[in-house]
Amino acid sequence: MSCTLASRKAFDDVTRSLASGKIERNATQGGSLCDAIVTPQPGNITFPIMSKLCGAGLVVTDDEALQAVALAFSRLKIVVEPGGAVALAAALFHGETLGDTVIAVCSGGNIDPDIFRLALDRFGA
């Protein structure tokens, strides 16, 4: 899973790599709300494991991650950063592609107050 700022394609190295069967590199290394999970490319050790055990992957938008931040706060009473809310966003907004049973781990309360405020202002809490 990946999260992007300007474009859904800016930080989708894992999804592209799983689709092509080889490690794909991101052209951009910074500028995402989900900076906690942005990497240059999938790792040499983890990519073969992901290729064998993971599905196709999907891309979560900034708005979906921010909405998941707001929903986690309002419904679950937890504070998560956008990168830590990507799995929740995938389950909430792309559940039809994930199968019958989904476990989403939410993590990282190290969210910038302005970003947290933006999520709550934009998507309610």
- The pTM assigned to this predicted structure is 0.83
39-46 contact pairs (CB < 8 A, 24+): 39/13, 40/13, 41/13, 41/17, 42/13, 42/14, 42/17
Per-residue pLDDT in tens (0 to 9) along the chain, 125 residues:
544 333 345 788 999 999 999 999 988 777 778 888 888 999 999 999 999 998 888 888 889 999 999 999 999 999 999 999 999 999 999 988 888 888 899 988 889 999 999 999 999 86
The contacts of residue 42 (CB under 8 Å, 6+ apart) are 13, 14, 17, 23, 24, 50
At residue 10, φ and ψ (nearest 5 deg) are -65, -35
Token pair of 51, please? 């290729």
Under a CB-based contact definition with an 8 Å cutoff, are residues 64 and 56 in contact?
Answer: no
